[in-house]
Amino acid sequence: DSPWLDPDAEPFIKVRGITKKFGAFTAVNNVDLDIYRGELFCLLGGSGCGKSTLLRMLAGFEQPTSGSFSIDGVEMANVPAYERPTNMMFQSYALFPHMTVEKNVGYGLKQSGVPKSEIEDRVNDILKLVELQDFKKRKPHQLSGGQSQRVALARALVKEPKVLLLDEPLGALDKRLREQTQFELMNIQEKVGITFIVVTHDQEEAMTLSTRIAVMDAGQFSQIGTPTEIYEFPESRFVADFIGSTNIFEGRVAEESGDHVTVDTEAGPVLIDHGMSVQNGARVFIALRPEKIQLTKEPPVAAGPNQAKGVVEDIGYLGDVSIYRVRLDNGTLVDVTAPNLVRPKNRTHKITWEEDVYLSWSASSPILLTK
């Protein structure tokens, strides 16, 4: 039931060679993208990478400099914004302050000449969906941030677009509410079954929400994939570093055989036992997630690759886990995420600053990157 995982499925939205220039500046640089029906697709990237510009072109608020795209088999080049099967929800929500919730939500339908009784029914249905049926007589200033967000969502959904475009939909909410609202947004999307395209700069949000993510950098896609693919199998240093945190070691391929590679790095020899093809002597990078490293006070029983010794230089206590910043004997810094080992009696940590520690990791954990 996930067409984006089916290589034979027909894309619902096809973006082909889209470029957008503002004068001499290229905001979106010749991108291709397939999005499937029912996806909750995230465009993720830092400030200025071009994600909003791409969304605005889909909405028809901005014309591409070159390239084309289609939605549900229809070429969009000559279709004005108001005739597109899309609707946009803005971060600012742009609710009319003098109108009640129900008037705000029904406004677009009224403008399109939908009969009054039908407007009432559709507004009621959609307010039920976003659980605001008891708030319909309120005005925007009588709503919380989360409620305003849901009104904006209801207003965007009530016209039943084929594609809903959301620019930083949770950006105005505080962290706690944002996390809670992520699940609501996913549930609502699943219920209505409309394709959502979400722009966000928040990688955790993208990981939680998405069927798939396109990581954007300087007007292009660095990688497109499911949250798991992007996190577990980043294809570049940029993606490995942008999604979650990671240790990156520079190195040179020391030995390459059919089923494993050894790389000499600043953190010592790293053995990797999963698929890749590289040349002996090639300069490469190793990405190693902090949570894939084991931290102990006891030295390993036998010497081997994928081990290092160092001293705890900093500890970031996060409650469930701590981040230990370990300086290896050769000066390299390695971050390790480990469960907190607290002695209940005197409430001190079992591993603390300035202590000698040993690091080790499995040969399936490092990711070899050539760019």
Segment 63 to 82, residues that bind ligand ATP, using CB under 6 A: none
Give the SS3 label for residue 115.
coil
Strands 13-22 and 25-35, by their bridges, are antiparallel
Strands 163-167 and 86-89, by their bridges, are parallel
Residue 20 Cβ, how far from ligand ATP at the closest point, in Å? 8
Residues in the chain: 371
Distance CA 195, CA 216 (A): 20
When the beta carbons of 48 and 299 are compared against ligand ATP, the nearer one is: 48
Identity of the residue numbered 149: Q
CA nearest neighbour of 224 among 213, 235, 233, 232: 213
Closest residue to ligand ATP using C-beta atoms? 52
When the beta carbons of 201 and 212 are compared against ligand ATP, the nearer one is: 201
When the beta carbons of 22 and 317 are compared against ligand ATP, the nearer one is: 22
Residue 8 Cβ, how far from ligand ATP at the closest point, in Å? 32
Give the SS3 label for residue 182.
helix
**Site residue total, ligand ATP (CB under 6 A):** 12
Segment 198 to 257, residues that bind ligand ATP, using CB under 6 A: 201
Residue whose entry in the numeric block shows the structure tokens 């940590």:
349
* H or E element, residue 128: helix 116-129
Q: Output DSSP code: residue 167.
A: E
61 is an interface residue for ligand ATP by CB under 6 A: no
Residue 50 Cβ, how far from ligand ATP at the closest point, in Å? 4
When the beta carbons of 63 and 78 are compared against ligand ATP, the nearer one is: 63
Binding mask 21-60 for ligand ATP (x = CB under 6 A): -x--x-x-----------------x-xxxxxxx-------
Q: By the criterion CB under 6 A, which residues form the site for ligand ATP?
A: 22, 25, 27, 45, 47-53, 201
